[in-house]
Structure 1
Amino acid sequence: MTAAPLELPSSSDAWPGWVRARSTAELDRAQALVGELRAGPPADPFAVLRLWDRASGHLGNVAALGSLLGNVHPSEEVRDLADHAEQGAQRLGTQWSLDRQLYDVFAAIDDDAVSDDPSAARLLNKIRADFRRSGVDKDQATRDRISAIRDRITELDQEFSRVIRDDVRTIRVAPERLAGMPDDWLAAHPVEDDGLVTVTTDYPDAVPVRMFARDQDVRRDITVAFLERGWPTTESMLNELFALRHELATTVGYADWPSYDADVKMIGKGPAIPEFIDRIAAAAEEPMRRDLGQLLDRYREDFPDAHEVPGYDYFHYAELVRSEQYQVDSQEVRAYLDFAKVRQGLLDVTGRLFGLRYEQVDVSVWHDEVTAYDVYRAEPAGGSVGRIYLDLHPRDGKYKHAAQFTLTDGVAGEQVPEGVLVCNFSRGLMEHDHVVTLFHEFGHLLHHVLAGHGDWFRFAGVATEWDFVEAPSQMLEEWAWHPEVLRTFATNAAGESIPADLVEAMRRADDYGKGIYARTQMFYAAMSYWFHADRAAPDTPDLTARMIELQGRYAALPYHPGTHMFAGFGHLGGYSSAYYTYMWSLVIAKDMFSAFDDSDLFAPEVATRYRDRVLVPGGAADAADLVTDFLGRPFSFDSYAAWLAR
């Protein structure tokens, strides 16, 4: 059986009908397969597992379609339809998970009957665990309550995301107050009829303004606007969301939501999360103080009586430290990072590294700035790997951060893996940090398509434990820092490659601030954890008060009075209590990268071994086992600690 990529609608008018038709058809297929299990499961346990897995795959198609289009489609009507489709998929999945008749089908399978097939045995164990975690063993009234909770959690998660996505704030600025901004940025922000320039909280505006604008009031105003996204609308949503998650977790037998969530992650137990946060915070204490000392010294040149650097001045003065002490001018660096060249360079680098070939295809997409590529193995007679879509520039109604979304999961002979990269980059010159982000997110995309050729939907794509999924992406960032790699695509208008000594200076400058970065990340992780764990306390703290307390305990930079950063912190939705996973994954990423030779990052033996032993398996094995198979030993903290301390 030969599978083909999806054919998306060719006209804007066709999209609503297509979303309805595809979501309905996929839900119908899913229900029909589960109906077979209910009516009389096959005697063959492998046939039982296959029916369930394929039904789950069709259900996943609807959830993926809904999540993607609800975040990227230009039409509000289509976004609403997509959100509705995702809710329907989640609702049906909840019904299945609480169906005791279905659970009994899998409980009745003799383990010995699948013991000769490790993948099938693993799948059976996962299915049984899913049912137990769902509360299938509870009485009918409790199961009805669980179903209602899950439905409402889905609605709140979508609503929270929608508010953040649509809450684009602006400041209006006289053009003379934008001194210091790059010429290309100024050209893209013309003076309007009233003599002012509009600056938005979208990343291509907010990041460079906070970094380059010399007017402190402008930096303060855009920072405050950025921190206030979602406020006050999302506070009540988050309080309800956290309370419902806690109720769900305790109803099915866990102490709190973090314990429930951690049970299926590498970390294993909820209380291990604050222990990990404190370990990273302690390791980052000295680097943070070193960074802050340099920052404050430079700040006092302009503000002699200052005792700390406010958050709205951090990006600007960190840039000055890098420029003056490390001889790295970000505007000089930007001159070598034209978006179109960077995008092609990314494809060239990853193609060479992983033995892949990308062919741009002229197919229907949801916006004319989206590009599509078919991915193939580069070796002679190399087969198809999947299809990827790159949606990389901001627009109204679009997801505001950077992420990889699934369009379809891949299973051999059943369905082609298709993934979408959603970012918000400049159409012209890029900051190097954004190049790093592009490499990072593309790592997820590669993981998705490379791991889409196994036998089971359950293990397809980025299906490992959630606190590992960032590790391959974080490791791919290393290629965006290497002089010889950057010189292959980072060229200025005259065609001159970025100088190697400039890249080396960039790397040294990047070491500055990582202590501040690590502590900031631990503040976010602590907020993510304690906002949920606090629900087990007799008196739940006010979210703003708790945020201020945690920022004081963990963050390097002070709280800005009157702001409510948590209200726009989208990771409280999808990552819930597990934002720690970014740093947990970074520990693993640094250790995996130690297997590569810095003098030859494209050495085929190690790159191929990494591709085939870590990326290609997807979720077919525990992440710790995949890493051990690649490294020849369990992962350790040593490489991360050495990186942080240097």
Structure 2
Amino acid sequence: MTLDPLALPTSAADWSAWFTERTAGELARATELVDALRAAPPADPVETLRRWDRAAGHLGNAAAAGSLFGNVHPSQEVRDLADAAEQEAQRIGTAWGLDRALYDVFAAIDPADVAHDLLAARLLAKVRDDFRRSGVDRDEATRTRIAQIRERITELDQEFSRVVRDDVRTVRVTPDRLAGMPDDWLAAHPVDEDGLVTVTTDYPDSVPVRMFARDQDVRRDMTIAFLERGWPATEPVLTELFALRHELATTVGYPDWPSYDADVKMIGRLNPVAEEARNEPSRSIPAFIERIVAAAEEPMRRDLEQLLERYRRDFPDATEVPGYDYNHYAELVRAERYDVDSQRVRAYFDFTKVRQGLLDVTGRLFGLRYEQVDAPVWHEDVTVYDVFRADGSERIGRIHLDLHPREGKYKHAAQFTLTDGVRGEQLPEGVLVCNFARGLMEHDHVVTLFHEFGHLLHHVLGGHGDWFRFAGVATEWDFVEAPSQMLEEWAWHADVLRTFATDAAGEPIPAELVAAMRAADDYGKGIYARTQMFYAAMSYWFHADRAAADRGEPVPDLTERMVELQGRYAALPYLPGTHMFASFGHLGGYSSGYYTYMWSLVIAKDMFSAFDDTDLFEPSVAGRYRDRVLVPGGSRDAADLVADFLGRPFSFDAYAAWLAR
């Protein structure tokens, strides 16, 4: 069967009608399949599971369209329709999970009758677990309350995302206060009629200003504006969100939300702490945080000593470096100690060349070919590529790259699903949503682009199985970052970068500069690890703290708790009066699981150890990684995928060695 990509509208005027018809149709098909399944399940239990999976696929199509276009479409009308569609998909999914008659269909299946089909057996176990976690075994009044909670959680999550997305703050300064900024950045920020330059909190503005501006007051003002996004509007939203998550978790039998969330993740099954307390798998999260904190202690102290030594040249009496000066002085350390000038580095990373280089590198690595196509898009910035196997034998998916900032668009970097891929049903389509400058890029942004593209590849390569449930990035959530983090390594290798990183004269980036960049990047990783553990602790404790009310104790104030956790875990001090948590978007989708970034980095470093640094494109290793880790999607547990690739279980050793060097 030849599958075609999803047909998007050809004009802006058609979008509202198309979106309404698309999502309504998918939701109707999903409902029809489930109604028939409830009324008269097939005699063949595998066919019963297949119909359920197809219904979930249609529901997923509607939810994916809602999530994507609610975050990227330039029309407020379409964004509102998208948010509503995502809410409706969530509502229907919740109703299914609480439907006892529907549950009875799967409870009646004897696992022995599907044991001959390993994936069907895997799906049956997961579906039964889904029903258990949904609260289907509770009384009618409790199930009604669970439905209300889930619907409200979806609304709050969307509201939090909307406020953070739309709250773009500005700092206006005279042009003389922007000394140190790159010429191309200054050219893109002309002086207005008031004689001022407007700088926004979007990443292409805020990151370079905090790194390069020589005026400390500008750096401070920019940092404060960035950290204050979402405040105070999101505090009551988050407070209610955390409370409802806790109520949901305890209602279905867990002690708190982190335990509910971790129960279906790697950390809930593999961390030794969880073996001692299976009813509280979340105990593994603070144990993991403390392990990273201990491993990062000495590297962090080395980083801070170098930073403070440089800072005291300008501020002799300083006892610490404030957060608003960190990026600037870390850049000076790298420039002076490692001879790495980020403005010189930027000259080699023109956006257009980087984008093509990314396609060339990943095509060579994974045996793929990308063909740009003239297809309808939601904004003129979006570029579209069909993905083929390198021999041209088969089109395996379509990708959409939406890589520049604009008003009303998602402010961070992420891969969004447009369609999950299932053999014979639909091609995988994914969307990369980022916010990069149109001209020269910081190398950190190049690394981010490689990282996010790793998710896109996982989505496409893993989208050719027989089940929606296991399509693409369908592994445990604390593994999904590992393939992307590993792909970052190709953005640090001189032989790779020299294939596309060239200056205006066409000269490739010198290998010795890349070596210096890698050495400079090692500076600060202790600070980075501790900062990440501060974020992970905040993510965990904001949720775990809700249990205090069950014990008759006061629940900590969010700002006070954030300040306390920053003091305990972070390398850099709290900036008084700021409320970073108010725009910490991961409190939405990742909830209590921000630890997953570091957990998966441990795995990524271990997987990368299988590659030969002298030949990162060696076909047998790259092919084995592609076929044993990416292509299977979620058809096996992540730990088994990694062990199949490495020939052994993953370990902490490679990460610890990297952190300590």
Matching residue of 1:276: 288
CA–CA distance in structure 2, aligned partners of residues 599 and 542 of structure 1? 52
Shift in Å, 1:385: 1.3
Matching residue of 2:277: none
Asked if 1:238 is matched to 2:253, the reply is no
Shift in Å, 1:382: 2.6
Q: Which runs of 5+ in 2 are unaligned?
A: 269-280
Asked if 1:419 is matched to 2:434, the reply is no
1:412, 1:453 within 8 Å by CA — same for their partners in 2? Answer: yes
Residue type of the alignment partner of 1:37: L
SS of 1:496 mapped into structure 2: coil
- CA offsets per residue over residues 341-368 of structure 1, 9 Å max, x none? 0000000000000000000000000000
Asked if 1:8 is matched to 2:8, the reply is yes
Matching residue of 2:168: 168
Matching residue of 2:158: 158
Aligned pair partner of 2:323 in 296, 311, 314: 311
Shift in Å, 1:3: 2.1
Residue type of the alignment partner of 1:321: V
Shift in Å, 1:2: 2.8
Aligned pair partner of 1:502 in 504, 509, 513: 513
Matching residue of 2:249: 249
CA–CA distance in structure 2, aligned partners of residues 382 and 627 of structure 1? 28
Residue type of the alignment partner of 1:524: Y
Asked if 1:259 is matched to 2:259, the reply is yes
Matching residue of 1:213: 213
CA–CA distance in structure 2, aligned partners of residues 527 and 178 of structure 1? 34
CA–CA distance in structure 2, aligned partners of residues 152 and 39 of structure 1? 30
Q: Give the ranges of 4+ consecutive aligned residues of structure 1 lying more than 2 Å apart after TM superposition.
A: none
Residue type of the alignment partner of 2:60: G
Matching residue of 2:443: 432
Residue type of the alignment partner of 2:206: A
Matching residue of 2:640: 625
Residue type of the alignment partner of 2:246: H
1:2, 1:414 within 8 Å by CA — same for their partners in 2? Answer: no
Aligned pair partner of 2:404 in 363, 381, 393: 393
Shift in Å, 1:47: 1.0
Shift in Å, 1:440: 0.1
Residue type of the alignment partner of 1:367: H
Matching residue of 2:41: 41
Within 5 A, what are the aligned runs for 1:567-586?
567-586=582-601
CA–CA distance in structure 1, aligned partners of residues 91 and 164 of structure 2? 24
Matching residue of 1:296: 308
CA–CA distance in structure 1, aligned partners of residues 554 and 527 of structure 2? 32
1:103, 1:136 within 8 Å by CA — same for their partners in 2? Answer: yes
Asked if 1:67 is matched to 2:67, the reply is yes
SS of 2:267 mapped into structure 1: coil
TM-score w.r.t. length of structure 1: 1.00
Within 5 A, what are the aligned runs for 1:399-478?
399-478=410-489
CA–CA distance in structure 1, aligned partners of residues 291 and 70 of structure 2? 38
Asked if 1:376 is matched to 2:388, the reply is yes
SS of 2:612 mapped into structure 1: coil
- CA offsets per residue over residues 210-266 of structure 1, 9 Å max, x none? 000000000000000000000000000000000000000000000000000000000
Residue type of the alignment partner of 2:283: P
- In the comparison of the two structures, how many residue pairs are matched? 645
Residue type of the alignment partner of 1:480: A
Within 5 A, what are the aligned runs for 1:462-541?
462-537=473-548, 538-541=553-556
Asked if 1:635 is matched to 2:655, the reply is no
Matching residue of 1:78: 78
- CA offsets per residue over residues 275-333 of structure 1, 9 Å max, x none? 00000001000000000000000000000000000000000000000000000000000
Matching residue of 1:341: 353
- CA offsets per residue over residues 430-464 of structure 1, 9 Å max, x none? 00000000000000000000000000000001000
SS of 2:591 mapped into structure 1: coil
Matching residue of 1:612: 627
SS of 2:312 mapped into structure 1: helix
Asked if 1:328 is matched to 2:340, the reply is yes
Matching residue of 1:352: 364
- CA offsets per residue over residues 522-578 of structure 1, 9 Å max, x none? 000000000000000121100000000000000000000000000000000000000
Q: Which runs of 5+ in 1 are unaligned?
A: none
1:408, 1:419 within 8 Å by CA — same for their partners in 2? Answer: yes
Aligned pair partner of 1:555 in 570, 581, 590: 570
Matching residue of 1:364: 376
Report the more deviating stretch, 3-12 or 222-231: 3-12
SS of 1:611 mapped into structure 2: helix
1:591, 1:636 within 8 Å by CA — same for their partners in 2? Answer: yes
Residue type of the alignment partner of 2:604: A
SS of 2:546 mapped into structure 1: helix
